[in-house]
């Protein structure tokens, strides 16, 4: 009898810790400061009505991305960040609760996004707007995320924010949400081929452009090495997966832009490695055996730093590798972990291999400061979270909203403290 | 006459321990032949660097396995201990040595919990350690408020602990010192298993628990100690893990224990308990680490790596099983 009771208690503990362990909940009310919320509510109440905000959204969607990038420089009040965007003047017309499903809490990137959400909630009024955030243990736990999404839909909140680990797997859930008339806002990554009408808006970095930016910068540094090479040279890319739309876009953005630049240099280029990226690349004009430049793409079995590090080691051990790109925080940290044994990286192309990362985090920032990593492209997770809550509020109010593509920013040791860049460099 | 002659050479191979050494040599040879980059010294250092925590976990888990149980909590446990230790170093400003001690103590604590659940409360080891696996997974995340934790890098103050495992010479060559420690620990624990009271009782519990109890031995105590040793080694494993991985992510670690357990079983530890060796475990874990590092080097993509790893592990264990079956069938003595 004792054994049976204990077994039941342990099973209950197992179930309970699974909920605690699988994801976290953070209620937004913890973040608000009374002064800020008072100021925000008086500012919001004197602002325009719904009619004005829909008119502003039509005019402002093209200006939204440039406004967002200049707004990033000011860490100022709500009206500054929202000025010129479709969310200017949005206030909560009722009490709303939202469910946020992030890709995972694996990297500090998501903590930064939640901070932005907390800021939005404190401005809109934590008594009016609140959210709960959940995410699976790792970004490869796709099934876990789909379960969380489905539970979130059945909880019937006023809106759902989603950063999908795998575009294909969430399509069914998106149709369900549409049938239940639940507005869904995608942030950080879109869902390619989402059912029509199921997504209210996508607030994400233009990931293709961000990948292109990384390729442009790497090519700038490596141009001489590529044009004067007498033997084959290799450029590596580590993508943490081949399933999430944003990683696919970033990876392909880098590959396709690098192909264009290398061909413009008069060289032949081939793509090798992970089948998804090899097949989706465009414009390669050579074969792996004899092309002047080989772009080698590796994807680990799971989205963890140690597996990314093993794949990076493989590419970085090759004597003809001149550059390597890690397309998100986890894979960039994998590159740095591999380098701790290989010591091949440098920000000077004549002295070593060039590494370019993505996102921020203290490991990557440290590596850029001390010259191991040449630079990285950062997103604005803070702003994404911030606009996401406003987007959900606008939807819950009944307005229609538009996509908000955001910019990625290149940063290296020279501009890390620029006012436009530094707020995005989370720890 | 013939029988004894055959026995002298082939008897070596009836012991899984020696089969596994052969597999390690074979795999290393294949990878070195197939890939020029695998032959580089830096690859050797990379392989060793990522192997330390697997080997330490393997040595630890061999003890519960030999008692006929298992400890599934070592993977997420190791991550949890590394998270908590690192969190204290990073956010509470404690010196790194304290962080390390906290990780070890935490490991011992969870090991003791596992031991009590299995030995005293008589819960099946699989269930009990699965529960503690879930608990440590969540606990790590809760105790660090869900944030990822970086331990100090070798350039930062407190980064001295990296030099336990790797020394960098002036010309940038790395010396994998950790390998020495791991070998020393293997030798010590192999001695403990074969030649100390504790080790022999652990084997006795695994081969016939009833008989051991009836012999008047305090089975409960030694059974718990097997799990405490396992927890201690999981805590020890947290340190090379923290050294190899720049930032530790909460919620990770699940699945790592299967590599350690697989390594132990491939190395000759019987899955039902009662037999096994620490030296065998050492080599068994290196089979897995070689595959993990070597398969990407020969150009295999992630999905193929997993298929081939599974196939090779099955093959390695099959050799021993087939041998034992044949020995039983022909009436020969089993080594």
Residue bearing the bigger pLDDT, A419 or A337: A337
Least CB–CB distance from A341: residue in B174, B245, B305: B174
As a whole number of angstroms, the distance between CA B286 and CA B20 comes to 9
Beta carbons of A349 and A321 less than 8 angstroms apart: no
State the DSSP code for B22.
Answer: H
pLDDT in tens, A160-188: 999 999 888 999 999 999 999 999 999 99
Q: Between chains, do B301 and A14 touch, taking CB under 8 Å as contact?
A: no
Task: Answer for the pair A375, B75: CB distance below 8 angstroms, yes or no.
Answer: no
DSSP letter string, A71-114 = HTT----HHHHHTTSTTTT---SS-EEEEEE-S-SSSHHHHHHH
pLDDT of residue A50: 39
For residues A271 and A219, state if they share a domain: yes
Closest CA of chain A from B183, distance in Å: 20
The interface predicted TM-score (ipTM) is: 0.79
Residue-wise DSSP of A274-339: SHHHHHH-----S-TTT-SEEEEEE--SSS-HHHHHHHHHHHHTSTTEEEEEE-SHHHHHHHHHHH
Q: Which residue has the higher pLDDT, B323 or A6?
A: A6
Residues A128 and A235 grouped into a single domain? no
**What range does the domain containing B75 cover?**
52-280
C-alpha pair distances (Å), B176 with each of A107, A193, B41, B258? 29, 49, 11, 25
Q: What is the pLDDT of residues B119-175, one digit of tens each?
A: 999 999 999 999 999 999 888 888 887 777 888 877 777 788 888 888 888 777 888
Q: Does residue B228 lie within any of the structural domains?
A: yes
Domain limits at A89?
A: 15-199+381-407
Q: How far apart are CA A376 and CA A355, in angstroms?
A: 9
- If you ran DSSP here, which 8-state letter would residue A323 be given? E
Same domain, A168 and A296: no
Does some domain include residue A192? yes
Give contacts of B121 with chain A, Cβ < 8 Å: 2-3, 6
Question: Which is nearest to B139 in space by CA: B87, B75, B77?
Answer: B77
Cβ separation A310–B155 shorter than 8 A: no
Does residue A424 lie within any of the structural domains? Answer: no
Quick one: which H or E segment has residue B86? helix B74-91
- Top pLDDT among B285 and B140 is at B285
Indicate yes or no: CB of A17 within 8 angstroms of CB of B138. yes
Residues A277/A252, Cβ–Cβ less than 8 Å: yes
Confirm whether A413 is domain-assigned.
no
Of A108, A299, A361, the CB nearest to B302: A299
Name the minimum distance, in Å, from the CA of B152 to any CA of chain A: 10
Q: Is B168 exposed, middle or buried (0-12, 13-18, 19+ CB in 10 A)?
A: middle
Residue A23, min C-alpha distance to chain B (Å): 9
At B325 the pLDDT is: 80
Does residue A279 register a pLDDT over 80?
A: yes
In chain B the first and final C-alpha atoms are separated, in Å, by 18
Calculate how close chain B gets to A56, using CA atoms only, in Å.
38
Tokens of A19: 């909920």
Q: Which residue of B has its CA nearest to A12?
A: B131
Note whether A21 contacts B45, CB cutoff 8 Å. Answer: no
Residue A140 domain-assigned (yes or no) = yes
Averaged pLDDT for residues A230-243? 93
Q: How many domains, chain B?
A: 1
Q: Is residue B210 part of a domain?
A: yes
Tell me: the pLDDT tens digits for B94-107?
899 999 999 999 99
All residues of chain B having their beta carbon less than 8 Å from the beta carbon of residue A234 are none
Helix, coil or strand: residue B251:
coil
Task: Tell me, yes or no, whether A3 lies in a domain.
Answer: no
Decide if B256 contacts B57 (C-beta within 8 A).
Answer: yes
- CATH code, domain carrying A295: 3.40.50.2300
- At B268 the three-state DSSP class reads coil
Q: β-pairing, A293-298 with A233-238?
A: parallel
Nearest CA in chain A to B46: A341
To 10 degrees, what angle do helices B74-91 and B256-266 make?
130
Closest chain A residue to B172 measured between Cα atoms? A343
Relative to beta strand B167-168, strand A293-298 is unpaired
- Cα–Cα dist B243/A76, whole Å: 40
Residue A10 above 90 pLDDT?
A: no
């Amino acid at each position: 009898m004792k054994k049976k009771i204990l077994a039941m208690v342990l099973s209950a503990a197992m179930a309970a810790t699974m909920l605690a362990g699988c994801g976290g909940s953070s209620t937004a009310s913890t973040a608000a400061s009374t002064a800020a919320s008072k100021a925000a509510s008086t500012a919001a109440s004197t602002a325009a009505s719904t009619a004005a905000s829909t008119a502003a959204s039509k005019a402002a969607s093209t200006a939204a991305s440039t406004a967002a990038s200049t707004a990033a420089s000011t860490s100022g009040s709500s009206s500054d960040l929202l000025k010129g965007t479709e969310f200017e003047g949005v206030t909560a017309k009722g009490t709303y609760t939202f469910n946020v499903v992030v890709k995972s809490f694996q990297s500090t990137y998501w903590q930064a996004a939640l901070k932005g959400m907390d800021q939005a909630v404190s401005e809109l009024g934590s008594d009016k707007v609140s959210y709960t955030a959940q995410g699976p243990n790792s970004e490869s736990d796709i099934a876990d995320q789909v379960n969380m999404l489905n539970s979130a839909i059945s909880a019937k909140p006023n809106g759902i924010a989603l950063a999908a680990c795998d575009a294909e797997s969430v399509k069914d859930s998106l149709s369900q949400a549409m049938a239940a008339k639940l507005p869904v806002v995608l942030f950080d990554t879109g869902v390619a081929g989402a059912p029509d009408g199921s997504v209210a808006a996508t607030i994400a970095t233009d990931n293709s452009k961000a990948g292109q930016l990384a390729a442009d910068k790497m090519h700038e540094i490596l141009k001489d090495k590529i044009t004067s090479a007498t033997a084959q040279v290799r450029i590596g890319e580590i993508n943490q997966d081949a399933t999430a739309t944003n990683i696919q876009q970033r990876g392909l953005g880098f590959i396709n832009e690098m192909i264009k630049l290398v061909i413009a240099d008069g060289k032949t280029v081939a793509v090798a490695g992970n089948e998804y990226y090899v097949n989706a690349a465009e414009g390669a004009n050579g074969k792996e055996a004899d092309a002047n430049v080989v772009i080698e793409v590796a994807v680990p079995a799971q989205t963890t730093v140690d597996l990314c590090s093993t794949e990076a080691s493989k590419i970085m051990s090759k004597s003809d590798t001149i550059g390597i790109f890690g397309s998100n925080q986890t894979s960039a940290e994998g590159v740095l972990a591999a380098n701790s044994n290989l010591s091949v990286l440098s920000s000077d192309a004549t002295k070593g291999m060039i590494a370019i990362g993505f996102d921020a985090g203290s490991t990557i920032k440290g590596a850029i400061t001390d010259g191991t990593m040449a630079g990285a492209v950062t997103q604005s997770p803070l702003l994404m979270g911030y606009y996401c809550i406003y987007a959900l509020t606008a939807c819950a109010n009944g307005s229609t909203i538009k996509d908000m593509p955001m910019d990625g920013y290149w940063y290296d040791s020279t501009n890390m403290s620029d006012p436009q860049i530094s707020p995005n460099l989370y720890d | 006459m013939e029988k004894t002659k055959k026995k002298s050479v082939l008897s070596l191979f009836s012991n899984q321990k020696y089969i596994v050494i052969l597999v390690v040599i074979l795999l290393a040879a294949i990878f070195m032949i197939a890939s020029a980059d695998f032959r580089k010294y830096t690859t050797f250092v990379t392989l060793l660097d990522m192997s330390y925590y697997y080997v330490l976990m393997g040595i630890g888990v061999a003890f519960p396995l030999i008692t006929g149980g298992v400890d599934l909590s070592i993977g997420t446990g190791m991550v949890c201990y590394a998270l908590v230790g690192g969190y204290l170093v990073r956010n509470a400003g404690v010196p790194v040595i304290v962080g390390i001690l906290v990780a070890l103590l935490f490991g011992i604590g969870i090991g003791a919990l596992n031991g009590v659940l299995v030995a005293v409360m008589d819960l099946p080891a699989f269930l009990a350690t699965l529960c503690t696996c879930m608990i440590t997974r969540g606990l790590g995340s809760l105790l660090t408020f869900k944030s990822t934790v970086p331990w100090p890098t070798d350039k930062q103050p407190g980064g001295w602990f990296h030099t336990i495992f790797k020394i960098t010479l002036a010309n940038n060559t790395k010396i994998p010192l950790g390998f020495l420690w791991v070998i020393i620990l293997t030798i010590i624990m192999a001695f403990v298993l074969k030649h100390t009271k504790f080790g022999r009782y652990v084997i006795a519990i695994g081969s016939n628990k009833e008989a051991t109890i009836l012999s008047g031995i305090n089975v409960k105590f030694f059974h718990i100690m097997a799990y405490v040793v396992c927890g201690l080694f999981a805590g020890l494993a947290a340190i090379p893990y923290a050294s190899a991985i720049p930032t530790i992510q909460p919620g990770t670690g699940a699945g790592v224990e299967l590599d350690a357990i697989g390594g132990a079983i491939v190395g000759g530890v019987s899955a039902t308990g009662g037999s096994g060796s620490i030296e065998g475990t050492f080599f068994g874990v290196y089979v897995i680490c070689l595959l993990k590092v070597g398969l990407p080097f020969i150009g295999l993509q992630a999905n193929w790596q997993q298929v081939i790893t599974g196939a090779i592990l099955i093959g390695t264990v099959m050799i021993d099983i087939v041998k034992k079956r044949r020995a039983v069938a022909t009436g020969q003595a089993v080594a």
